Every structure is written in C-alpha cells, then in structure tokens.
Structure 1
Amino acid sequence: MSEKIALSTWPTPMEPMPRLAAALGLHEDDLWIKRDDLIGLGGGGNKVRKLEWLVGAAVEARADTLVTTGAQQSNHARLTAAAGARLGLDVVLVLPGTSDSAANASGNLVLDSLFGARVFWAGDGHPGGMADVAEDVCRQLSRDGARPYLIPFGGSSPLGARGYVEGGEEIRSQLPDVDHVVVAVGSGGTMAGLTGALGEERVLGVHCGAVADPAATVAALAGPLTPHGIAPDSLRIRTDQVGAGYGVLHEPVLEAMRTTAATEGIVLDPVYSGRAMAGLIAAVRDRDIRRGERTVFLHTGGLPGLFGHAETVHRSVTALHSCDPV
C-alpha cells in the first residue's frame, strides 16, 4: 500500500460545546466538537485526511497532475488544488457549468484560482456523475505528455477512507467513552473510515444528497476496512435533512447553523456540516441521542463554500439585527 504524505498537523482539537448542549436539552458535558475545520491546509476540512493517502499514491505513481471532480463549490476540489500547490503538482478540476460560471466566481472557486488550479467546465450534470468526463480529461492530458492521476469524487475510495480510520482513532483517544459520532455523508468516505475505526453502532451519518444510495455507498467503502465487511442495513444514516436536494438550502439546516453560531460562535456550511448538525438536533428530539450520552460532532469544514451559497448569504444578511446607537 502507498505511504501517505503529511499535509497537516495532527491531532485536531476536541472541544466542548456546553451552551449548545444545554440549548438542546443535553447535559453540558455531553456534546463535543472535533475540529477538522481547523486542519491547516487550504482553508481546512475533512478532505485533507483522505488526500494524504490519495496524493501519496499519486506521487508513488510518479504523477505530475492531479485530476478530480466535484460541484462548483466543492471543498474537495479546493483542497485538492491546495495539496497540488503544496507539492508542486498541477491540478485540473472537472466541474459542472461553463466558462461563464467563472464570471461571478465566489467562495471555493476563488480559492481554486488562487491555488493555481485549472478548470475543465463539463456542462450540465450532477457533480457525482462526471467520472467519465474526468477519465477523458486524463486521457487528453496523457496525450499531451502529462502524467495525470485521477482522484475520485470527494476523495472517497477505500484508500482515501483510511484517513478517517485514523480520524476515528484520534476521536477514541481524545474521548474514550464516546457514544455517538455525528458526521455529514457526502461522497461517503468520511463515514466509512469512522465506521471502520469505531463500528457501525457509534457512527451516525446525515445524508446530504450527494449520492443516490448513501448506505450502499458507505458500506462499499467501509467493507475493505473491516475484517468481515459492512452490511448497508447495519449503518445509522438519517435521510431527513436533504430537503429539496443537494445544494438547496433546507430550513432546519439554516436554523441549526444559526443556533450553533449563536451559542458557540462556530460557523457551519449549508451543504454538509449544517445538515449534519440539523441531523444531530433531530436525533436528540427523536431520542436517538439522549442526555448522558457522550456525543461528538465532526466539523468537516466548508466555510469558503458558505460564501458561494447565494441563498444562505442572502437569508443571513436580511436577518441582521439592528439597534439604536447608544
């Protein structure tokens, strides 16, 4: 197996969230947050753990160009661009849309440019369904004399998921008595790695709408990380926070973002971590998470994407509090 390449400093902090816990009706020491948003590379986020392994494989294969796919505001694409910049590798991002999409670039797209990535605009289509386009891009790069390495959507493969086997082991070393770890499920690799480290019963995933069948996706990624495989129906995955679809603001998510920010000063994004927190709040309401149970919320990052999400920005600005001058 390839050796990983260190892209940050570990472990990330584990911090209590007593005010949010109290607001949700939990004991003040029940709720903790694992700060993978504070990973140093490229603005932070969970994808760095996966990229350490995936970029390690690319370097071992003597690649000079990283190619990957994602949505226009993909955190994974942004961090792949940052990893390439750190290691002196070219990066090509295959994103939905046209070159006109760059005219009003914001959020992650701005950082993609700063990190020196090139974008291949793939037209319309779901970001999870562009693997064929990315393979075509790799073939063209090879014809042009480059040595491309294709990193999967979201960095999610059994190899990439090893980053969150390590992340799960960090959590267990920081809070040995953890009962629940709550995490967003996008492309599935983060939950898969956590499940490999902590078992199905302790990991609660919250589906974000990025894949059609989250349980099957996570099980396929987690299976190679465990001695006996993973059955999809053994996984704890909530599907009640997708709303109108991936990337579309869901009202409970905005409320979860506001509550977390107002009680703990912590910012979540509307696509992933905000949905995960909305799922955690719903799990407390449903008594799937109860008082006295030690719960960790994995903050997967995504702050740059918040500023590229027009509806969330608009709703937040229009809700600004006003006061009379003193």
Structure 2
Amino acid sequence: MIDLSAFPRVALGSWPTPLDDAPRLATALGSPPVLIKRDDVNGLGAGGNKLRKLEFLLGQAIEQGADTIITFGALQTNHGRQTAAACAKLGLRCELVLTAKVPMKGDAYERSGNIVLDHMFGANVHICADAEETAQAYERVNHDKAVTLPVGGSNGLGTLGYVAAAVELVGQLNDRGIDNACIVVPLGSGATAAGIALGTELLGWSGTVHAPSVSHSKADAEQELHTLAGDAAALLNVPAPKLAHVTITDDTIGPGYGVPTEDMWSVLKLFGETEGVVLDPVYTGKAAVAFRRLAPTLDVPVVFLHTGGLPGFYGYAPEAVAQF
C-alpha cells in the first residue's frame, strides 16, 4: 500500500486518465497488445503529465503561503504552460523564465504553440538568451512569497505525482487481467519515469519499465532517475529502490533535445494513421521511436504512456507541413 495522504495536494487533473486499447497500432507493428495511457487528456491547460507533479508541488507551495510561482524551461516548455494554467486556476502569479536553448527558429517556434498559451493563461514570460540572462531575470522576479519550481517539476516531491500514477495504471491493468506488461515512458527531466519506476517497484508489480531518454545521455539519465526515485522514496520513508526492472536508452534523441528526426516524424504518422493519436516532436515522438522498435520483440502487452505536449506540436508547424 502506498499512502500519499500526508502530502498537501491540490486537484488539477481529471483522474483516472483513460487506458485505451490500440489494436490497429499493434497490428501495424506486429506486436503483442498495445495500450496507450492517455495522460495527454487530463483537462487543465490542454493536458499533460506535469499536472500530476504540480498537484503536489503547488499543494506544498500554497501551504507555505506562496503568492507567486517561478519556474524555468525552453521556449516550448510543456511544464511552463501547465504551470501557468494551474496558477491561473489557483489565483497564483506565474513567472516563466524561459531560455532559447533549442536550435529552432521562426514565428511558429518562437511565438506559437505553448508560448502563446503561456500568455493566454496570464503568465509573465521572460525570454532569455543564456544562463546569465536567466539568472538576472530570476533575481528580478524572486521575492519572499515566491516559490521556485525546478525544470519540469522534477524533484522528489514532483515525483510523487507519478508514484500516484503508477498505482492508478497498475490498478487499470489488473482490472483487465494483465499482471505483466512493459510500460514505455519518455524520460526528460526525469520525475515522470522515476515515479512510474518507484511506484511499480513499491507495488511489487511483475512487469518492466522502459524509459527512452529524450535529452540526456543514458548514463546521466540513469543517475537522474535513481536520484529522483531515491528522493521520493525518502519522502515516503521507504528504502531507496533498486529499479532492477527499469531499462533506459538514449539512441533516439537524434541531434539533440527538441530537434526533430526523420524517425520521429514517421512514428507520429504511424500513431496518427492507426489510432488518431497525436504525439509531440520533443517527448512522446522520440520515445515512440524506441517503442516502435521494442514492441514487436516483446511477448507481453506494452503500454505507451502518453505524456501530452500537443500544443508544442504547433511550434513545429512548418516542419510538420513539410513532412505531411
């Protein structure tokens, strides 16, 4: 039993999110049954995985008396967009300190997608060219009643959001009579994958977790995963997890974080034309390249955890138009 009741929490998402069968995708892959965990359709702020983390992060911030939330990310950060939406709902001031660290240019990337929603949700958006400008912007907006959230909402507390998700997902699988499966989850800032990894281990679940990194090397991603899972375990007052059921790869990143690849575009087309599901170019698209390769090799059902990111797709509109 995993008890999260001791942690302050605000209601932001619509839980449980659906666990959908994807039979046409499975047929196209020649794989065992495929299911898609739809964390992209959980309501607030156009949905996405960050809402589960923000329930715990903002719950603590409100308990601490915060009136302002500050966080960071790239221009098309999903975390920033969902933080802005959550702050709007909760009546908190939101300061987004964004850095132009992805080598993408043009109006679509710089002004559309997530960033236009940041403004629509009432966030104050500070666009910085480098680390020095980021530090200066942060100093300008930080004050006594401000709480700062890490990139992606990824710390031990944020990880608890996906420990809760692991309980939800394993319960849904059990309801279907599935006691062994492989969960494929994108690994970016790390807390989503770490929470799924920790939660499934604490539940004694017999399946496996595969986490394709979308940004960091395999070695760095493994270290991040273990650190976040360990920090969350400490909050729960349980031993640090072994995570022996978890594998990580880094070979679908391509030229870098947020940079499209041909394989990514082709797997977006595959999900779209078989199931009508839209992936994003940064997280789910890169992870789905690894999923497409892995699924046909398995002899158990495979679950793709869809972490959202649809608004970010429009930041890549010119590239998408050229592809499709």
TM tier, smaller: 0.7 to 0.9
Count of aligned residue pairs for this structure pair: 302
Q: Is the 8 A contact 2:100 2:129 kept in 1?
A: yes
Q: 1:300 corresponds to which residue?
A: 307
Q: 1:171 corresponds to which residue?
A: 169
Match of 1:94 among 97, 105, 108: 97
Superposed CA deviations along residues 248-281 of structure 1, whole A, max 9, x for unmatched, are 1111111111111010010000110111111111
Q: 1:149 corresponds to which residue?
A: 147
Rounded to whole Å, the distance in 1 between the matches of 2:87 and 2:208 is: 34
Q: 2:192 corresponds to which residue?
A: 190
Q: Is the 8 A contact 1:178 1:296 kept in 2?
A: no
Which one is further off, 217-226 or 4-13? 217-226
Offset of residue 314 of structure 1: 3.2
Q: Do residues 15 (structure 1) and 20 (structure 2) align?
A: yes
Q: Is the 8 A contact 2:70 2:142 kept in 1?
A: no
Q: SS where residue 271 of structure 1 aligns? A: coil
Q: 1:205 corresponds to which residue?
A: 211
Are residues 36 and 70 of structure 1, via their aligned partners in 2, closer, same or farther at CA, if it must alter by over 3 Å? same
Which one is further off, 184-193 or 225-234? 225-234
Q: SS where residue 8 of structure 2 aligns? A: coil
User: Superposition RMSD on alpha carbons, in Å?
Assistant: 2.5
Q: 1:324 corresponds to which residue?
A: none
Match of 1:252 among 246, 259, 263: 263
- Which amino acid is 2:186 matched to? A
Q: 1:283 corresponds to which residue?
A: 294
Offset of residue 83 of structure 1: 0.5
Q: SS where residue 185 of structure 2 aligns? A: strand
Q: Is the 8 A contact 1:160 1:189 kept in 2?
A: yes
Superposed CA deviations along residues 153-197 of structure 1, whole A, max 9, x for unmatched, are 000011001000010111100002241110100100000000111
Rounded to whole Å, the distance in 2 between the matches of 1:181 and 1:237 is: 12
Offset of residue 58 of structure 1: 0.8
Offset of residue 140 of structure 1: 3.3
Q: Do residues 223 (structure 1) and 230 (structure 2) align?
A: yes
Q: Is the 8 A contact 1:138 1:150 kept in 2?
A: no
Are residues 234 and 192 of structure 1, via their aligned partners in 2, closer, same or farther at CA, if it must alter by over 3 Å? same
Q: Do residues 122 (structure 1) and 149 (structure 2) align?
A: no
- Which amino acid is 2:148 matched to? L
Q: SS where residue 267 of structure 2 aligns? A: helix
Q: Is the 8 A contact 1:216 1:232 kept in 2?
A: no
Rounded to whole Å, the distance in 2 between the matches of 1:85 and 1:162 is: 23
Offset of residue 206 of structure 1: 0.8
Q: Do residues 48 (structure 1) and 51 (structure 2) align?
A: yes
Are residues 299 and 88 of structure 1, via their aligned partners in 2, closer, same or farther at CA, if it must alter by over 3 Å? same
Relative contact order (alpha carbons < 8 A, sep ≥ 6): 1 or 2 greater?
Answer: 2
- Could you tell me the TM-score, scaled by structure 2's length? 0.86
Q: Is the 8 A contact 2:48 2:308 kept in 1?
A: yes
Are residues 122 and 230 of structure 1, via their aligned partners in 2, closer, same or farther at CA, if it must alter by over 3 Å? farther
- Which amino acid is 1:298 matched to? L
Are residues 3 and 216 of structure 1, via their aligned partners in 2, closer, same or farther at CA, if it must alter by over 3 Å? same
Q: Is the 8 A contact 1:218 1:232 kept in 2?
A: no
Q: Percent identity?
A: 41
Structure 2 regions of 5+ residues with no counterpart? Answer: 1-5
- Which amino acid is 2:278 matched to? V
Q: 1:108 corresponds to which residue?
A: 114
Q: Is the 8 A contact 1:215 1:232 kept in 2?
A: no
Rounded to whole Å, the distance in 2 between the matches of 1:315 and 1:213 is: 34
Are residues 61 and 270 of structure 1, via their aligned partners in 2, closer, same or farther at CA, if it must alter by over 3 Å? same
- Which amino acid is 1:55 matched to? L
Structure 1 regions of 5+ residues with no counterpart? Answer: 320-326
Offset of residue 107 of structure 1: 0.2
Rounded to whole Å, the distance in 2 between the matches of 1:19 and 1:5 is: 37
Q: Is the 8 A contact 2:21 2:35 kept in 1?
A: yes
Q: 1:3 corresponds to which residue?
A: 8
